[in-house]
Every structure is written in C-alpha cells, then in structure tokens.
Amino acid sequence: MPYEFRFPDVGEGIHEGELVKWLVKEGDQVNADQSIAEVETDKAVVEMPSPKKGAITRLHFKEGDTITVGQVFVTIALEGEDAKAVSASAPAAAASPAPVPTGEVYTGSVVGFVEEAKEVSPIYGRPQQAPSPSSSPGVQATLAVRKLAQERKVDLSKVKGTGAGGRITEQDVLTVAQAQEGAPAPGQGSPAAGQPMRSFALQPKPKSAHVRKYDFYGFLERQQIRGVKRKVAEHMTESFYTAPQVTNFHTADITQLEKNREQKKAEGKQVTALAYIVRALGIALQKHPAINSTLEGDEAVMKKYYNIGVAVDTDDGLIVPVVKRSNTKAVEQIAEEIRKLSDEARSRKINLMDLKGGGFTVSNLGMFGVEHFTPILNYPETALLGVGRTKDVLTVLGVDKGSSQARIGPRKMIPLSFTYDHRVISGADAARFMQDLVALLEKPEELEKAPDAVGH
C-alpha cells in the first residue's frame, strides 16, 4: 500500500506553510530523511525530509501553493511496490483523506523530533467518532480556527466562510461568537471581560471575476502579503491595538566606546556597537526586572533570564533571532553570535529555537541614517530599544573657571528610542532604566569586564 506523507505539525504554533521548491520529481527514488522540498513557514524556510524510503509517485502540490497541517503532501511507493500502479491509483486515493497508516511512526522533523500529523484534521475536516460543533466534518477551517471555535462554543457547520474558497476565518468565528454572547462586533467596542481579544489576522480579499489592473490615475500592481511579512503585519497590529505604548528619547556619548572598538579592530576583533548595547542590556535589566517582563492577565511576569532579541531585516520581512543569556557573554562572543544569527535569518535557514525565548528586543535603524524613531513593541514583551545613527556632535567639553570660556569639541553621540508598555512600566521606571543603560554605554570598560556566572 502506498505511503501518503501528510504535512507534519512542526510545532511553534505553525499550522500551514508555502511550498517554495520541490527538491525531487515524480519517479525519483528517495531515502528516509532525504530532503524532498523546501517549505516556508511564517518563521523560516525549512527542508522537509522524507519519512520513508521508496519512489515518489505523486507530488500533491505545486510550488507556491499553501499546505495545511494534515494534508497529503506526497505519495511514496514503498520498496517492493509497483510505482506505476501506485501512480495510476493516486489521483483517486487523493480525492478523500486516507486512513492513517499503522505500524512504524516516523518522528523526525525539520525542528528535531515531532510526531507526524496523524490525528490532525486537514482543511477538509476528518470525521471523528463523536464530532463536536467545532470539529464538524466537511468544514473548511484551519486548526487555529477550529481551536478558537471550540473555545468560543461556535458550531462551525453553521458558519459561512468568507475566506478563499469558502474557508472559515478567525474573524468569521469571532463575529458569530460575539453575536451569540451579545458582545459588540470587532471595532465597535472592547470584548467582554475574560473573553479572548479580537482577531488581528489579515483577512483575504474576496475573489471576484474581475480584478482591476488600473484605476482613474493609472496602472496598479497587486502583491499578496504572505509568509513572514503577513505574520509581522498581524503581530504589529496586535501590539499596537493591545498595549498603550510610550517612547522616550535619549542620547548616549559613546566616544570612548568607539575608541575601544577601533582598538579591538586593530587587534583583529570585529565588535559592533550593537554588541556593546546587548551586553549593557544584559547588565541593566538585572537592576530593573519590570523592563524584562510580559503581561499575563493582571500579572506582570518578570523573567530571571536575560535573552535579547535582535531585529534583522530580510528580503522576506522582519525576523527576530534571540541572543540567549546575554548577561553571561563577553562583547566579542555577543558580536559573533549576532553575526551568525543574522546570516542564518537572512538565508532563512535559522533554527526555530533561535527565534524563541526573548524577553527584550533591540531594533537598529542607524545603518539607514535614522536617528530617533518610535518602534512598536514586540508584543507580549513590555519594552523595546530603538538604536539610531551615531554622529559627531559639537559639545561643550568644559568651561575655564578663570575666563569663563567654554571648550567645544566633537563627541560621538548615539540616539536611543525606548518604547514601553505603560500598563506595566511607569515613565519614571523607564527613565531610571535608561539612565543606567546610558551610563554603562558611556563607561565601556564596565562592559568589557568578565561576565556574570551562568544562572542569573
């Protein structure tokens, strides 16, 4: 019997992916664990390994298609089977979900070892022994939508989908749920106490027979927001409409820090100003626990580890890899880690675990000539530091007491923009934290001392 490999649950809340490239073609022989495709999730591009050894008889998707967890991804004729016979019967078999094979279960995956999708319902629901309203068979809905429907006690069989091909979206479920509960529709008021917040997912534009290629003023070009860019857009919308955000502007004199960097460069050590900033954050956050926190319900959760996310601009959107335990690493080690994580993020080959566990984020726009700006929080984190372009500024260096003449000279100044969640962090707390951070940056010798022991 041919083996139908279903798109696996790769964890991290990922429910679907976009097929970027097939690495095999129909008729090819493959070994177990051989990469057969590149799939883009909202976090990274991952290589999908074959769970079995055999011959590829059918590729069920085209490059550019979106695949949902649980859908049949590829059909493989196992050793001893007639590949041509399997290929001829594959279209009919693919018309309805096949039973899950029994016996050996492949547990390897793109992110370590997770179980292949078995009980996961694909986009067309699989009947269960006792289906609940949220798991109605025949309904077109993703796992996230089904989970939301279960939480809000919505019968999906009675919901009219507004997504592509009649797919039910999160917004459809929330609209029905709020009507059942007598709550205002999204955008017309706050959700009832204790109820989940509104959905911030981008809703697909309804398909029509005619798509306008121009308007009164000229031609138009349409580009669908997908993958990382879509996830970032939804995440930023959630952050903006959830947390009351305030940004304070500061400036640090990093003249000595830049001299130390030049000295290290002469010694063959490439250390960026960003590495010094991450090192300083690892120290300063220990004195200000509320800055390294998240808000859960009515509790501020202070993290006793100091993991700093560094926003990286890629062709596919913004990705935030995390430097773990920054307080235990020297500036040279931090600089090398930032370089490595940034390269992996831009190539979309980064390990998903390197994108998790952050407590505070740094966004650097200085390379683009930006000075102060108002960054949006990496929600649910409660604080974020924006780094601007270092520039020479004429500064009063001192005043001669006898003549009252001022000595003026250039100093290297770096603009810092600190955004924080005002529900958790007060203006005074934010100011005190930034005073300590600026003081550390202005005394780089403190940052070059041996780091703390692991564990705090």
CA distances from 159 to 177, 197, 259, 285, 442 (A): 10, 20, 64, 47, 60
Task: Compute the distance between CA of residue 167 and CA of residue 162 in angstroms, rounded to an integer.
Answer: 6
CA distances from 50 to 13, 47, 79, 82, 116 (A): 22, 10, 14, 19, 11
Query: Taking Cα atoms as reference points, which of 419, 401, 428, 403 lies closest to residue 362?
Result: 419
Q: Token pair for residue 347? A: 């190539």
Whether 48 contacts 110, CB under 8 Å: yes
Task: Compute the distance between CA of residue 136 and CA of residue 432 in angstroms, rounded to an integer.
Answer: 54
Q: HSE of 67 in the Cβ direction (CA atoms, 13 Å)? A: 30
**Which residues, listed in sequence order, are joined to residue 22 by a DSSP beta bridge?**
37
Q: Token pair for residue 250? A: 């500061």
Task: Compute the distance between CA of residue 263 and CA of residue 260 in angstroms, rounded to an integer.
Answer: 5
Task: Compute the distance between CA of residue 9 and CA of residue 208 in angstroms, rounded to an integer.
Answer: 33
Whether 309 contacts 358, CB under 8 Å: yes
Q: Which of 15, 60, 288, 422 is catalytic?
A: 422
210 among known catalytic residues: no
> By three-state DSSP, how is residue 388 classified?
coil
Task: Compute the distance between CA of residue 154 and CA of residue 134 in angstroms, rounded to an integer.
Answer: 6
Strand pairing category for 312-314 and 245-253: unpaired
Whether 2 contacts 57, CB under 8 Å: yes
Residues 271-295: b if buried by 16+ CB within 10 A, e if exposed: bebbbbbbbbbbbbbeebebbbbbb
Active site residues: 422
